[in-house]
């Protein structure tokens, strides 16, 4: 197996001076209580361009010769590598073309364009964009910047490992999202040499988890780690240096996003929240202090709203019920007054008369309600039934 050494990673850190930031780690009492061990959050979502990718792209571009820079660079990305390549290319005065899956979040597409790159959208997943970018490089002579299968990129990502070892010298476990494997390979290369007793655990989205030996089976909100075909180099490094690879569902990821926003005041995308999701789901194992790498924060605003509403619903914070009231003046107000006395907030009310199988003397109502938690939601449903209202819980 080949791959970058710790010396290569140290040199990468020197090249990245003024390019990538040393991101902070934050201790979380809330998450520590949930899992029974000290939890630190490595906030790469606060990194320049919003993710760790600036490290690998910056180191790779810095090592290109003038002949390699002259025809421009090309990359394939679900968003974060795209922004990193676009930003570093702009700063170096190099033309950049980025191929992205057609359903890449708008926020990532617009950010990449704003950094000066030319965008080509196509295909459903990263692998489709990858094939198109490779073909473009062969046709035009542009230099292809791989998002993970490149020693220079892996060395750049490994600088996170250097920071973690320095910031948390008593670290027991590091939890890292895995897509193509460059981040996990880089961090594990450093951690296993400088802190050999520290466990490294990789996390994949259940819908796309080749490192966990599972066949891809659909889309995921963690599109940043939805890579069907990782590289041979990253596979080899992960196999040798990463202690375990686990998976998390989109439900678990969405709940982690909500908790990070509520408890830590950090906006994190699906891929970036996967590591915390695994920890909260009890799949990380090990003992002692755990560091969770929040790899990126570039989540589309509309997706964030959807995830927040869904996460709050799963947690019992949003309750949606269907009921019926007599179709007479004052009856709906009577029901809403009773609900208000239970300290429940009414978010929305919808009437259904036409097309419904209800008595001519009744009207159906659908209520979206804000509750404290699942216990509060269950208590309200029981109260409505005591008041004589039929209740069908929708969410």
Domain borders along the chain are 6-53+153-310, 54-144, 317-393
- Give the pLDDT confidence of 262-307 residue by residue, as tens digits: 999 999 999 999 999 999 999 999 999 999 999 999 998 888 998 8
Catalytic residue among 42, 53, 108, 192: 53
Which residues are registered as beta bridge partners of 296?
51
- Residue burial 297-336, b: 16+ Cβ < 10 Å; e: rest: bbbbeebbeebbbbbbbbbbbbbbbbbbbebeeeebeebb
Distances in whole angstroms, Cα of residue 40 to Cα of each of 168, 169, 294: 9, 12, 10
Question: Any idea which of 201-215, 277-291, 353-367 has the lowest mean pLDDT?
Answer: 353-367
pLDDT of residue 382: 94
Residue pair 268/297 in contact by the 8 Å Cβ criterion: yes
**Within 10 A of 382 (CB to CB), how many other CB atoms are there?**
11
pLDDT of residue 218: 82
355: confidence class by pLDDT, cuts 50, 70, 90: low
- Report the C-alpha gap between 393 and 395 in whole angstroms: 6
Q: Whose structure tokens read 């040798």?
A: 240
Q: Which structure tokens are listed for 331?
A: 């009856």
pLDDT of residue 356: 58
131: confidence class by pLDDT, cuts 50, 70, 90: very high
Q: What is the pTM of this model?
A: 0.88
Residue pair 6/153 in contact by the 8 Å Cβ criterion: no
104: confidence class by pLDDT, cuts 50, 70, 90: confident
pLDDT of residue 358: 66
What CATH class has 317-393? alpha beta
Rounded to an integer, the average pLDDT of 57-84 is 95
- Give the pLDDT confidence of 91-101 residue by residue, as tens digits: 999 999 999 98
Catalytic residue among 51, 195, 295, 323: 295
Percentage above 70 pLDDT, the chain: 98
Distances in whole angstroms, Cα of residue 57 to Cα of each of 32, 115, 243, 271, 367: 33, 14, 26, 18, 49
In the residue annotation, 53 being an active-site residue is answered as: yes
Q: What is the CA radius of gyration of the chain?
A: 24
- Report the C-alpha gap between 291 and 311 in whole angstroms: 24
Q: 204: part of which helix (H) or strand (E)?
A: strand 199-205
- Report the C-alpha gap between 252 and 215 in whole angstroms: 19
188: confidence class by pLDDT, cuts 50, 70, 90: very high
Residue pair 51/83 in contact by the 8 Å Cβ criterion: yes
1: confidence class by pLDDT, cuts 50, 70, 90: low
Domain made up of 54-144: CATH architecture = 3-Layer(aba) Sandwich (3.40)
CATH number for the region 6-53+153-310 comes to 3.40.50.1100
End-to-end CA distance of the chain: 50
pLDDT of residue 164: 98
**What residues have CB less than 8 Å from 195, skipping those under 6 apart?**
165, 169, 171
In the residue annotation, 295 being an active-site residue is answered as: yes
- Give the pLDDT confidence of 143-182 residue by residue, as tens digits: 999 999 999 999 999 999 999 999 999 999 999 999 999 9
pLDDT of residue 141: 96
**Within 10 A of 53 (CB to CB), how many other CB atoms are there?**
35
- Give the pLDDT confidence of 8-56 residue by residue, as tens digits: 999 999 999 999 999 999 999 999 999 999 999 999 999 999 999 999 9
Q: In what order do the strands lie in the sheet with 318-326?
A: 345-352, 362-370, 318-326, 392-393
Say if 6-53+153-310 and 54-144 have the same CATH topology. Answer: yes
Closest CA to 110 of 130, 82, 141, 139: 82
Rounded to an integer, the average pLDDT of 131-137 is 95
pLDDT at 245 over 90: yes
């Amino acid at each position: 197996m080949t791959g970058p050494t710790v010396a290569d990673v140290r040199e990468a850190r020197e090249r990245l001076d003024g390019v990538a930031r040393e991101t902070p780690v934050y201790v979380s009492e809330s998450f520590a209580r949930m899992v029974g061990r000290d939890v630190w959050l490595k906030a790469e979502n606060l990194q320049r361009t919003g993710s760790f990718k600036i490290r690998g792209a910056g180191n790779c571009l810095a090592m290109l010769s003038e002949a390699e820079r002259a025809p421009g660079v090309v990359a394939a990305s679900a968003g974060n590598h795209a922004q990193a390549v676009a930003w570093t290319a702009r700063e170096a005065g190099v033309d950049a073309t980025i191929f992205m899956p057609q359903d890449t979040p708008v926020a990532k597409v617009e950010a990449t364009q704003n950094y000066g790159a030319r965008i080509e959208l196509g295909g459903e997943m990263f692998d489709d964009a990858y094939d198109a970018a490779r073909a473009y490089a062969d046709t035009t002579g542009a230099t292809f910047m791989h998002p993970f299968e490149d020693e220079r990129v892996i060395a750049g990502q490994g600088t996170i490992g250097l920071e973690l070892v320095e910031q948390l010298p008593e670290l027991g476990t590091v939890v890292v999202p895995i897509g193509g494997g460059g981040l996990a390979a880089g961090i594990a290369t450093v951690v296993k040499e400088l802190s050999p007793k520290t466990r490294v655990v990789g996390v994949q989205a259940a819908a796309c988890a080749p490192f966990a030996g599972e066949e891809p089976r659909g889309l995921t909100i963690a599109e940043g780690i939805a890579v069907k075909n990782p590289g041979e180099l990253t596979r080899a490094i992960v196999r040798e240096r990463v202690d375990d690879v686990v998976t998390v569902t989109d439900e678990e990821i969405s709940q982690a996003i909500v908790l990070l926003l509520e408890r830590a005041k950090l906006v994190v995308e699906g891929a970036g929240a996967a590591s915390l999701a695994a920890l909260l789901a009890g799949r990380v194992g090990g003992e002692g202090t755990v560091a969770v790498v929040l790899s990126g924060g570039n989540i589309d605003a509309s997706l964030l709203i959807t995830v927040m509403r869904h996460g709050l619903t799963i947690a019992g914070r949003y309750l949606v019920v269907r009921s019926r009231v007599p179709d007479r003046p004052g009856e709906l107000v009577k029901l809403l007054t009773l609900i208000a006395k239970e300290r429940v907030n009414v978010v929305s009310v919808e009437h259904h008369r036409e097309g419904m199988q209800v008595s001519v003397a009744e009207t159906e109502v659908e209520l979206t309600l804000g509750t404290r938690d699942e216990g509060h939601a269950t208590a309200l449903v029981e109260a409505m039934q005591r008041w004589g209202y039929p209740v069908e819980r929708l969410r």
